[in-house]
Amino acid sequence: MLEAPERVGARFSILLFLGFLLTPLAGFGAGVLFGLISVEQLQEVLAGGIVPVFSVSLIFVSLFQLQRLITPLITWALQNPDGGNAPSHLHRLSQRFSRDYWGLLALHALVSPVLVFWTLDGGINPDNGFAFSHFMLLQVISAALVGMPGYLFGLHQLGKLAGHLSLDRVHVSLQARTLLLAGLVPLLSYSILMYYHWLHTGQLDSGYMVTWIALGIVTASISLLSIRSMQQALRPFQELFSRSGASTHEDLAKLRPASTDEIGHLTQTLGKVFQRLGDQETHMRAIVDTAAEGIIVVDDKGLIDTFNPAAERLFGYLAQEIRGRHLASLLPNVFEVKQSIDAHAEEREVGGVHRNGSKIQMSLRISEMEISGKRMFTCLVADITRRKAAELELLTAEARYRALVETAHDLVWSMDPEGRWSYLNSSSRVIYGLEPEQMLGRSISEFCAADNCEADRQAFSQLLGGKDLYQYETVHLDKDGNRRSLSFNAKTHRDEQGNILQISGTARDITDQKAFHQQLTYQAEHDSLTKLFNRHYFQQELERTVARVLRNPQHTCALFYIDLDQFKYINDTLGHAAGDRLLVEVTQLLISHVREGDLLARFGGDEFTLLLYNISPSDVMLAAEHFRQLFEDYRFVQEGKSFNITCSIGAAIIEQLVESAEEVLSHADIACNMAKAQGRNRINLYDPTDRNKAGMAEDMGWASRVREMLEQDKFQLVYQPIMALNDDQVQDYEVLVRMICDDGEIILPGGFMPAAERFGLIHSVDRWIVRRALAQLSRLHQQGESVRFSINLSGKAFEDVSLLPMIQEILDQSNIDPSRVCFEITETAAIAKLSAAEKFITALKVMGCQFALDDFGAGFSSFAYLKHLPVDKLKIDGSFVQGMANSQIDQAMVQSMNQVAHALGKQTIAEYVEDSTTLELLRNYGVDYAQGNYLGKPREALMSITRLPPTRLQAGRAD
């Protein structure tokens, strides 16, 4: 970095003043030291006044002369802080420094001895001639030695100004400096020491002379070698500069070092710099030549200097024929021949003229630059015909997009980082009852329901923190204060610095969907006839109650299993309507006597369960007797006739010894069966020490057999083929489970699954089936069999928190393609837990597996909930398929379910295909797959459809 010229000038003047001041002091001091004049003579000289006046005058004259030299240089440097080529008279001034400096020192060294001897002896005579000559010689040597630092410092300061002034030539060469420092100064030093010895001893033996001569030779050799080395180091530059013509970057890049010192390193560095500059020049030339935009460089008069290939293609002119012509010949609507050119960085759309006279729509940007003090302008031109067409297409698309947004059923919105609406489409009228203009600028928090405000604030904070919102559900209020359930998707938009510009997204009104879900949830948890909680919900609550009692043993609870004694008689003799009315009246009777907080449920048929919280074991039988007495006093009246209705109640205490809800329920059920066995209209408290437990052996036996099968790995998997109706090929198999007894009897799932579910073993059965089925599928894939498995899961699979991680672990550790694995759950099980089913199915889909809904059509509101479950396949319930050959209604039902499934993008599978007629009907309706005993029964080994007798398939098509 260049130093300030003012500081350079100040240092130059001050230190040169000190140098000129020290020169006479050093000279007279040396004279006294060498004994050429005495101290008294020096005092006489100083008292005479002539020598001091001359020395002081010469010092100020020297300072004035050098100030005249430096001042114009400093002034020009201040006026041109960025540097430049200084005028020639300034270069001549700087070149005079060496002459003026040494001339003034020489004047002092030559004149001051004359004045000294004039003052002492009245002039120079034969008596003092020897002393005079020696004194003058001493003055010259002192001036040379003392003045050398000042001279070098002056050159140093002028060198600092060279960055401002630039150099027209070398003022003092490196060889000259080397000669002064390495040659002259040492020789003068040796000489003055010998001279001092000679003056004080009066003799100079040959040893001193030989030493002086040897030192002189060594010094001269060192100086010459240094100069030679320096010349060698500078030779690459001298050879380069001695060439005729201008040197290109390529020539300069050939610089190679000729020495190992700083100059050699500098030479190598400069070579690399010039090589890089050449590369950059080549690179820039390549950029200009290959640029997609036309690049035209013109001077300040508008005459074309550079015309790249892109400009040639754009205007149809060659560079050599257009160079030197005015820019107005290409852009007549923008420039005139005598018009000055103004730079503008922003893009302008202008019209150009091709060589053939056609009009070109183009963009134009002009930037100004200065090259060697001359103003030039770079014009960037590009054909924007396609871009304008694209912009028109974009505007059309934007208009189309805006129309879609404005007519979208979902709310499309954006807001600022403070949460104020900045845009809403017309759906705001449907959701909020307000026009978009009425909501703009208002905060979203104004519309939030009070019980959702805190959750909304947290969600908004997460959104500002960089986390996108996906299906975030909240509740807002419309203009009338009605609650609207909304599902928000939102994303932040940020600038390059990460600052939030705006937030945008969509919102869907899910009020009706939430109500539908609530209705389904209510139906899934309540009995449709009595409105009591159903068996499913009661079992869940029983599990929670058992868990609480295990944590707090002092809070014992009780379970009553209530079974009506005369219900079957009423139902069979008076009809189902009477039976339903009886159940409703019994429900109201129970509700009116159940403590607040206790849970009453219809467990199934004529069975009720009652969960009593925080009841003392001593009060359990009293409470049970109270309910038994209620039924004994109750009379059911139908068509004027009165019927006595009693009940049998089994009671079980929930205490710390109980391990599971299934165990408690089994105890109450066994106690109820024992009450019935004892003559009905009784109560019975489960006693684990009672060996007379009628009805207990059967269920417990099934549970024991299921445990044995699991522990000894005795379940068996069988596979039933599923045929694709478009090509009659079989790649899919449904995996089914069988219990093989010791006597060879085969038990179907309907025989043991209820007991497994009732006694808490169903999750273990599910996991066993999944683990064995996936292991078998992995082996088949390793053998090159390209098959797919469809694996049945129980209705309790949604409740098993370890099932999904187990499936994921098996898929990760095996070679199974997840897309070749499909899981099945019955429609009724999925409806019973719609929300859990939706999450469970979605998790399997994320793994890459498929999902099928079994027994489709057997449930209620099938089409209504189907759009909420992300299943891949629907298995049409066999009750419709079996009767298709003889029932047009079944045919219509199957056809309707197939059409709806296809409309939703789902495949269909028809179960229970038992004949060729049914198969051909399914094929005609476009059903995707068929399954049934006609095509293949469940077996341990995989079956290929090609093994079926060809006549059966042909007959199926012929029929």
DSSP character string of 721-783: EEEETTTTEEEEEEEEEEEE-TTS-EE-HHHHHHHHHHTT-HHHHHHHHHHHHHHHHHHHHHT
Residue 83: Cβ-neighbour burial (10 angstroms; 0-12, 13-18, 19+): middle
DSSP character string of 396-414: HHHHHHHHHHHH-SSEEEE
Q: Would you say 823 and 793 are in contact if contact means Cβ atoms under 8 Å apart?
A: yes
Query: DSSP 3-state assignment of 420?
Result: strand
- Give CA–CA dist 878/857, Å, rounded: 9
Intra-chain end-to-end CA distance of the chain, in Å = 101
The two structure tokens encoding residue 246? 């201008």
The two structure tokens encoding residue 887? 């029932």
Cβ contacts of residue 923 below 8 Å, gap of 6+? Answer: 725, 930, 957
For residue 819, what are the CA distances in angstroms to 534, 786, 789? 37, 12, 10
Q: Is 606 a catalytic residue?
A: yes
Query: DSSP 3-state assignment of 796?
Result: coil
- Give CA–CA dist 678/520, Å, rounded: 41
Q: Would you say 178 and 230 are in contact if contact means Cβ atoms under 8 Å apart?
A: yes
Residue 535 exposure: Cα atoms within 13 Å on the Cβ side: 11
Query: DSSP 3-state assignment of 876?
Result: strand
For residue 802, what are the CA distances in angstroms to 243, 706, 764, 811, 821? 87, 20, 10, 15, 18
DSSP character string of 337-374: TTPPP--EEEEEEEEEE-TTS-EEEEEEEEEEEEETTE
Q: Would you say 655 and 556 are in contact if contact means Cβ atoms under 8 Å apart?
A: yes
For residue 771, what are the CA distances in angstroms to 413, 768, 806? 48, 5, 8
Q: How many residues does the chain have?
A: 959
Cβ contacts of residue 358 below 8 Å, gap of 6+? Answer: none
Supply φ then ψ for residue 510, to 5 degrees.
-110, 25
DSSP state of 4: P
Degrees to nearest 5, angle at CA 47 with 43 and 52: 95
For residue 748, what are the CA distances in angstroms to 738, 753, 761, 790, 852? 5, 9, 16, 18, 21
- Give CA–CA dist 381/518, Å, rounded: 65
- Give CA–CA dist 358/130, Å, rounded: 101
Query: DSSP 3-state assignment of 851?
Result: strand
- Give CA–CA dist 264/908, Å, rounded: 85
Which residue among the candidates 410, 527, 563, 606 is catalytic per the annotation?
Answer: 606
Q: What are the b/e assignments for 898-919, b being 16+ CB within 10 Å?
A: bebbeeeebbbbbbbbbbbebb
Degrees to nearest 5, angle at CA 546 with 541 and 551: 125
The catalytic residues are 606
